[in-house]
Structure formats: C-alpha cells, structure tokens
Amino acid sequence: MTTGRTANSRTMKLPYIKLSENAKLLLLSLLVGLCAGVAAVLLLHVIEFIHGLIRTGHFLFPAVGMLISLIIVRYLVRDNIGHGVTKVLLAVSRNESRIKPHNMWSSLLTSAVTIGLGGSVGAEAPIVYTGAAFGSNIGRMAKLSYRGVTVLLGCGAAGAIAGIFKAPLAGVLFTLEILLFNISMSSIMPLLVSTLTATVVSYVFMGAESPFSCSMAPFSMGNLPFYLLLGVFCGMVSQYFTRFTLWLEDKLQSDFRSSWVRWAVCGVGLSLLVWLFPPLFGEGYDSIGQLLNGGELQLGSDPNPLLFLLESPWGMPVFLIFVLLLKVVSMTLTNSGGGVGGTFGPTLFEGAILGFLVARTVNLCGMSLPEQNFALVGMAGLMAGVMQAPMTAIFLIAEITGGYDLLLPLILCATTSYGVTRVRERYSIYTKRIAQSGDLLTHDSDHAVLTLLNTSDLIRDKYPRLKADDALQDVSGIISGSTVAVFPVISNEGRFVGVLEMDDIRKHMFEPDAVAKLHVRDLMHLPAEIVYEDERMEDVMRKFDRTGVWRLPVLTHEGIYLGFISRSRILAAYREELKKITAED
C-alpha cells in the first residue's frame, strides 16, 4: 500500500515553461554557432587533407576538381549551389529565409573538392551558405517566425565567418553590413552568441594562432599619403573585379550552353593560367602569407616560361600586374566550369597583391615603404570596395592578422576604396544582380517591406466579369446584385479589354430606352494603368501614386485577366509584413 505522499509524488507534474521567441533565439543561436563552427573546421581540414594528397600544385588538378564538383552537383545535389552569399540574400528577400536542407552539406562537399584540388576560388561563400542553411533549417524545425528564422540564418552566416577566420566581431559585422539590412538591436545578442561559439570551436580544433601571421613594421604617419593612394587604387580595382566577373560569367553562360563543354573550355583556360602564373593555384593564402611576412612570391617547381621576368627588378611588379588582372579570370573560370567557391578569398588575395605591388613600385622609385604592411592594408581596401562593407573589411583584417597597430591606415584605405567604388558602382558583387531584379533588401524600411511583398499574393478576384458584347440590360441583374464599384470586361478567350465602372452606368440607369440600346463596350474604358502578376511591389505603388486610383487590374503577360489589386490590400499586407520583421517579444 502506497502512502499519500508517494502517490502525490507520482502525480506531480513539472511546471511548463513557455520560452519567448527571444529566449529561444539565444538558445538556438548557440546550437547554430556550434554547427557553423564545426562545418568551418571540417571544410578547412578536408581542403588541407586533399592538398596533402596531391602534394604538388600541378596545373591540371584544378580542372579535375571542377569536374568532380560538376558531377556531384549535377547527379547528386541536382540544384544550383553557386554564389552562396547571393543565394542567402535571395532566400531572405524572396523565400521567407528558407534554405534547402541539402545546403547544410552540399556546398561544403563541393567547395572542399574544388579548392582542395586547386580551384582558384575561396571557401568563405560556401561556408556562409552552409552556416546560413543550418540556421534556416533549425529555425524552421523550432517553428520560429519569419523574423526568428531570419535571425538564425544570420547567426549561421556570422558563425561561419567567425569559425573559418577566428574573427567573431567580423562575423557579426559581415551579417549586419551584407546580409541582414533591417535587423533589430535585440537580435545582436544571438549573433554574438553564435560567433563566439563558432570561434571557440575553431580555437579548440585549429589552435590559437591567427589565420594570417604578419611581421608588421612600425606604423609611420608619413606613410599615410601612400595608404590613401592605395585606397584609390583599391577602389578602381574593385570596380574592375565586380564588373569583369559578372560580365565574364554571363559571357561563358551564353556562349557555352552545355555544362560539359563549358567545363572543358574553362578547365583548359584555368590550367593554362595556373601553369603560367602558379600563385593562381587554389585560394592563394600561401602567397598572402609570403607577402605578409616580407617574402617573395614562389612560382612553383614546374618549368615556367615567365621566370625571365624575375631577372629584372621591375620584373616582379610586371608579373604581379598580370596576376592581379588574371585572378578574376581564374576565379570566374573555376565557378563557371562547375567548381563551387566564392569571391571572398580571391578578394583578400588580390588586395594583398595590390598592396604589395604599390609598395614595391614606390620603393623601386627610391622610397622605403614596409611592403608587408601595405599588403595587409590592401586586403581591407579591396574587400571594402568589392563587398561594399568597409566595417567588415577593417575589423576582419585586423582580427585575422593581429594588425590593430595599423588600424588608422586600415580605416583610411578601406574608407577611400569604398568611396571611390561607390562613385561608379552602387552595388556590391553580391547584390548587383539582385538589385537589378528588384529583390534586394536595403536599410530603407519601406523599400525592404515592399520587396518582401509579392503582387501575385495580393490579387482579389471578387469582381463579376462582363463581356464587351453583352447588352447592358442583360447584365443589369449582375450589376445591381453586386457590391463592387468596378467590373472587368474580358473577351471570350479571357483576355482583358477594359473596365466598366458604376459611375459610367449610373447616368443611364433612369433612361430605359437608352439602356435597351447600350452594350458594355459602349460604356467601358481602359484603366489608368495595368499591373502584371510578377511586377515588383515598388513599381506597383508608383503606378498607384501616379494615377491616384484605388484599384488596378492585374494581368498575365499574355493579357489574361487575373483580378484586381487595391491600395487597401497592399497597406494591410505592408502592416502585417512590417510587424513580422520587427516583432519583439
């Protein structure tokens, strides 16, 4: 026989604790940071392992890596996983921050093969895509709101950057400057938790040393004009980097429709470039390390017809100019030929090359500039211009090199580069194509909310349809029995031909003889504007502002009538979307 106390203890229930969404975000950001950190460490280890297998940077290996990656993507993944950062931006603006589950491993696997075998791209964009995929899928599994899923997506991306570079502050700034334009201040804490967790994971498995050790020379105020000059050059090269990359990608895509033919063309081109310019092999981080420590670029062990350049003092600058211009080509050939990688690493590589090139050229003219310092600052300058993220560039380079003693030239060069770039290039390499399609979220809250609204979701088809040949007296019952103020007029094929408004009918209602003779086509008229089902909401609002009307018809591009869209429906959807992205617990 059990005692009353024992019986009561068996029936006792633990109190149910309902966590707010902000509390859930803090807990889940820890998990997302852990996943992103492990993924970053795994990617780096796999790349290093593959490098160890091939032992030497033979110029044919990159084409092999591109082919393996192409086969994996085509037959296993069956999805386009390139341009990781751009895909994350599109997921936020057009897919409710949803990223497919396979992206938690597919980008990691294919980029490891591509880079491990010498593809001339970076690992950062794929790992950002991987981290963001962890955040998105964990947020959806936890049934968070759109805002919560978006914050966790940003936590994954920030954790990925922090994990791969051991740079927690840069991870947060990267997310704020590039990915999540309208994040609230309460969401900073989950980002910090995620980046801190990922950084700790990276320290545990990769050691405490900085990714790029640098033997810096003491900072001299007298060198500031040359850092300013370097910033101007970084801005100019940034414009070349962005525009030429996008142009060459489009050119290769349009000229070689077959992915296998494109691989062959890109593989041959990349192999030739790597043979002539060995620093183009892989990410180029070995070359960055050599420049940051006052060394010279190594041209490898393969016979190279360009070795004669090094026989002259000016040979190295000439060689580096070719490397600087052709890194963009080798990167684009890698991605277009089937490889998976990003522009982050090549940006750092080109920045270091450009900084070293400027300092070496000035020194050959009789000055004495610290070439390793300029290589370091050039990395920040080019990143600020290409990514249009100066804060990320400044603090990332300071964190990964320990170069806080050069904070003043870092700020000067990065700010100058950003300003020079913005004169002629409004968008970064990540956002330019998205901006052209109208899907880019910005710091402008109105624009951001309108971008998230889809015209097709706001169409209402409650309006009785009339035919142009209908006699007015035959449809009088439909008109009198309806509460709407406007009627679409369509052809027998469903094509839109005009509208009939109650104001057009009212003046004939008390003229029976006139009504008997009138047809719908006699009273209908064309609307002030027409909206198409896939039109950007920002353009739709401009049409409303321009015409001053309350509703407009929506058609397909073939002219088929779908319904009407109204100002009131847009404003209601706007308020709901604004609450979703700014909701606080």
Are 167 and 28 in the same domain? yes
Amino acid code (one letter) for 122? G
Cα angle value 67/68/70 (rounded, 5°): 65
> Do both 409 and 452 map to the same domain?
no
What's 466's domain CATH number?
A: 3.10.580.10
Q: 482, 464 in Cβ contact below 8 A?
A: yes
pLDDT digits 0-9 by tens, 225-266: 999 999 999 999 999 999 999 999 999 999 998 999 999 999
Percent of the chain exceeding pLDDT 70 equals: 87
Confidence label for 197 from pLDDT (cuts 50, 70 and 90): very high
pLDDT tens track for 297-347: 766 555 667 766 666 788 888 889 999 999 999 999 999 999 999 899 999
Residue 120 lies in a domain: yes
- Same domain for 417 and 486: no
Give pLDDT tens digits for 148-173.
898 999 999 999 999 999 999 999 99
Averaged pLDDT for residues 354-369: 92
Q: Looking at the structure, do residues 145 and 254 belong to the same domain, yes or no?
A: no
Residue 17, both tokens: 């604790």
479 and 530 in a single domain? The answer is: yes
Q: Which domain-ending residue is among 206, 233, 257?
A: 206
Residues pairing with 487 in the sheet: 500
Examine the pLDDT at 571 and tell me if it is beyond 90.
no
By DSSP bridging, strand 551-555 and strand 531-532 are parallel
Please tell me whether residues 68 and 170 are part of one structural domain: yes
Whether residue 242 is found in the same domain as residue 182: no
Give the CA count within 13 Å in the CB-facing half-sphere of 75.
Answer: 6
Range in 12-16, 426-430, 507-511 the model is least confident about: 12-16
Distance CA 526, CA 548 (A): 15
Q: Is the pLDDT of residue 13 over 60?
A: no
Q: How many domains, the chain?
A: 3
pLDDT band at 146 (very low <50, low <70, confident <90, very high): confident
Span 518-546, mean pLDDT?
Answer: 85
Task: State the average pLDDT over residues 14-30.
Answer: 77
Q: What is the pLDDT of residue 312?
A: 76
- When comparing pLDDT for 2 and 433, which is higher? 433
- One domain, residues 432 and 465: no
> Mind giving me the DSSP string for 536-565?
-HHHHHHHHHHH--SEEEEE-TT-BEEEEE
423 versus 577: the higher-pLDDT residue is: 423
Predicted pLDDT of residue 435? 75
Share of the chain above pLDDT 90, in %: 45
Question: Are residue 286 and residue 426 in the same domain, yes or no?
Answer: yes
User: Which of 409, 438, 467 is the C-terminal boundary of a domain?
Assistant: 438
Please indicate, yes or no, whether residues 39 and 149 belong to a single structural domain of this protein: yes
Nearest to residue 387, comparing CAs of 234, 273, 504? 234
Mapped onto helix, strand or coil, the DSSP state of residue 421 is helix
Q: Which region among 198-202, 323-327, 376-380, 404-408 has the lowest average model confidence (pLDDT)?
A: 404-408
| 213 is a domain residue | no
Quick check: is 549 in a domain?
A: yes
3-class secondary structure per residue, 179-221: HCCCCCHHHHHHHHHHHHHHHHHHHHHHCCCCCCCCCCCCCCH
CA of 168: how far to CAs of 40, 57, 157, 196, 231, in Å? 13, 32, 11, 6, 25
pLDDT, residue 249, reads 93
Give pLDDT, residue 303. Answer: 62
What is the pLDDT averaged over residues 521-548? 85
Q: Of 175, 206, 237, at which residue does a domain stop?
A: 206
Report if residue 46 sits inside a domain: yes
Residue 421 has a pLDDT of 95
Across all residues in the chain, what is the average pLDDT?
85
Contact between 210 and 194 under an 8 Å Cβ cutoff? The reply is no
> pLDDT at position 446, please?
58
Residues 6+ apart with CB under 8 A from 428: 178, 242, 386, 387, 388, 389
The tens digit of pLDDT for each residue in 104-136 reads: 999 999 999 999 999 999 999 999 999 999 999
Instruction: Report pLDDT for 8.
Output: 47
- The predicted pLDDT at position 155 comes to 95
For the stretch 62-89, pLDDT in tens is: 999 999 999 999 999 988 888 888 888 8
Q: Based on the fold, state whether residues 233 and 108 are members of the same structural domain.
A: no
Residue 196 lies in a domain: yes
- Weakest-pLDDT range from 11-15, 379-383, 431-435: 11-15
Give the whole-angstrom CA distance, residue 439 versus residue 531: 18
State the pLDDT at residue 183. Answer: 64
- Report whether pLDDT(271) > 70: yes
Q: State which residues form the domain around 559.
A: 448-582
Residue 5 lies in a domain: no
- Residue 499 placed within a domain: yes
Summarize the confidence of residues 471-490 as an average pLDDT: 78
State pTM to two decimals. Answer: 0.79
